[in-house]
Amino acid sequence: MKSIKKSFARTPAGPMAALLLLITLLPAALFAAELQGTSHTYLQSRETANNSNLLPLYEYLDLSVRDMGSESLSVHVGGWLGYDLRDDSFGYNKDRGSDLQYGYVSYRTKSRNAMVNVGRVMVFEGVAAERVDGIYARTDVKGGFGIAAFGGAPVETGTDTPGNNVIYGGRVSHQYADLYAIGFSYLKEEKNSATFREEEGIDLWLRPVNKVELTGRSSYNANTSGWMEHAYYLLLGPFANLRFNTEASWISYGDYFAGATTNVFRMTPGGPLNPNEKVTVLGEEVLFALSDRWNLSADYKKYSYDIAGNASYYGAKVTFVMPKSYRAGLSFHRMDGDATSLQYDEYRIYGSAKIHKVDIAVDLLDVKYQAAINGVSDAYSATLAAGYELTERLAVGADVEYAKNPEYDKDVRLFMKLNYRFDEKPGKDAGKRKGV
């Protein structure tokens, strides 16, 4: 195991090189392959807190190549890059960065739901929600059992350190059709041979009788010897026109964020995350179908913090839905907490419509604080979005948002998007052009 771990740690780009090599060595297969993907181009105009005008342009591309001489073999690549079109006069970097989100060769079998991915892979197995430069495999085995495993070099934001960094783990599961599915998972990450994260978890889906469904997970931090979280959700119904959604969760900040893989969630002295904080959340939502199109719901959620105090969030919502045509809603909620910033009333009204090739949406939100924050007692935002389908594959759209809140006296944002979907079969298309 040590030799394998060191190999991944020393050559994190190795799986990516293997991916590119495979594509290079299969020109004939690629010529006959089916190409599928989407392109999302976004242009945003906004102003920062220090009055800097930004105009970032982002391109997101997802690409899949299938039927490469075998129905079992495929290649998947996705990533993004960004660039700011404004002057760099305020010290902002015009290069907004780039990222290869995933890029791997996949081999699947028709039997036992077996799969092997090699490259920059996405892993979602129990406690693991990771990007890994390495290998990920899973399969079903006899008796309702399943097994998954992964290993390689971690792909993280802001916490990468030079040296031997490895991550590995897996999940063992068992299921009985229409009754339950349970999984036990494990993850370990090492930085320069020292344990950075070691987590264990259990996930559950249970349906003991019709109209009763329980899902949840519990995660344990073996590095800190403490439970990270418990989160469980109970769905009851529908009974005639009634449904009930119940939530119960608990999080320990010190254990949950101890191995944060992004700077946003890193616990630093004086930072927003107190390692001694713990929170319990209990919630209930009751939904009542007034008719096929009208629905009424009421919800309540209780937040209990060990340090920050308690807060209750409750309210009601009425919605109207006409599938594929119209959707609208009106809601009111009250946040009543010990902290002044958690004492406010929230009003929202929204609606959307699809008329032939045009999509239109409006969203209005108003928050009235019991006590002014930074001199603002009434915060609000208004968003108007519109889109047009130029062809079956090409669509354009734009969102405009105007807001006032305790951080911004006036916040105006423009978001433009161009979405393109492609599905090509080069070999067959070439034959058609030749009259074959």
11, pLDDT greater than 60: no
Compute the average pLDDT of residues 303-324: 94
Task: Compute the distance between CA of residue 84 and CA of residue 91 in angstroms, rounded to an integer.
Answer: 12
Q: Which of 165, 161, 162 is nearest to 153 (CA)?
A: 165
Burial class of residue 74 (count of CB atoms within 10 Å of its CB; 0-12, 13-18, 19+):
buried
Q: What are the pLDDT digits (tens) for 228-252?
A: 999 999 999 999 899 999 999 999 9
pLDDT at 263: 60
**Residue 268: per-residue pLDDT:** 61
Nearest by Cα to 414 from 384, 381, 389, 380: 384
**405-408: Cβ within 8 A, 24+ apart:** 405/367, 405/376, 405/379, 405/380, 405/381, 406/373, 406/374, 406/375, 406/376, 406/379, 407/49, 407/374, 408/49
Q: How confident is the model at residue 2 (pLDDT cuts 50, 70, 90)?
A: very low
Whether 8 has a pLDDT exceeding 50, the answer reads no
On whether the CB atoms of residues 329 and 319 are closer than 8 A, the answer is yes
Helices and strands counted in the chain (H then E) = 5, 23
Our CA angle for 37, 40, 43, nearest 5°, is: 165
Please compute the mean of the pLDDT values over residues 431-435 and round it to a whole number: 40
| Main-chain dihedrals φ then ψ at residue 29, nearest 5 degrees | -65, -40
For residue 85, what pLDDT is reported?
A: 84
The chain-wide mean pLDDT, for the chain, equals: 86
Task: Find which of 89-93, 120-124, 158-162, 369-373 is predicted with most confidence, using mean pLDDT.
Answer: 120-124
Q: How confident is the model at residue 35 (pLDDT cuts 50, 70, 90)?
A: confident
Q: Domain residue spans in the chain?
A: 1-31+109-235+257-265
163: confidence class by pLDDT, cuts 50, 70, 90: low
State residue 431's pLDDT score.
43
Query: Quick one: pLDDT at residue 311?
Result: 96
What pLDDT digit, counting tens, does each position of 54-65 carry? 888 999 999 999
Q: Strand, coil or helix: what is 33? A: coil
Tokens read off for 362: 């409006």
Confidence of residue 158 (pLDDT cuts 50, 70, 90): low
How far is Cα 80 from Cα 284, in angstroms, rounded to an integer? 39
Average pLDDT over residues 295-315: 96
pLDDT in the model for residue 228: 97
Distance, CA of 139 to CA of 116 (rounded, Å): 9
- What does the pLDDT average to over 119-125? 96
Average pLDDT over residues 295-313: 95
SS3 188: strand
pLDDT digits (tens, 9 = 90+) for 194-226: 999 999 999 999 999 999 999 999 999 999 999
pLDDT at 427 over 70: no
Q: What one-character DSSP code corresponds to residue 340?
A: G
Peptide bond into 323 cis (omega under 30): no
- Whether the CB-CB separation of 80 and 58 falls below 8 Å is answered with yes
The token duo for 315 is: 């309210």
* pLDDT exceeds 80 at position 426: no
Q: Which residues, listed in sequence order, are joined to residue 66 by a DSSP beta bridge? A: 34
Q: If you average pLDDT over residues 150-175, what whole number do you get?
A: 86
Residue 147 has pLDDT above 80, yes or no: yes
pLDDT at position 25 is: 47
Residue 161 pLDDT level (bands cut at 50, 70, 90) = low
Candidates 212, 108, 217, 125; CA nearest to 170 is 125
Q: Name which of 14-18, 157-161, 271-275 the model is least confident about.
A: 14-18
Sign (positive/negative) of CA torsion 264, 268, 273, 276?
Answer: positive
Say whether pLDDT at 20 is over 80.
Answer: no
Question: In degrees rounded to 5, what are phi and psi of residue 144?
Answer: 85, 5
Taking residues 253-282, what's their average pLDDT? Answer: 78
Q: How confident is the model at residue 28 (pLDDT cuts 50, 70, 90)?
A: very low
- The predicted pLDDT at position 392 comes to 92
More confident site: 339 or 378: 378
DSSP string, 95-144: EEEEEEEEEEEEEE-SSTT-EEEEEEEEEEETTEEEEEEEEEEEEE-GGG
**Candidate from 129-133, 160-164, 387-391 with smallest mean pLDDT:** 160-164
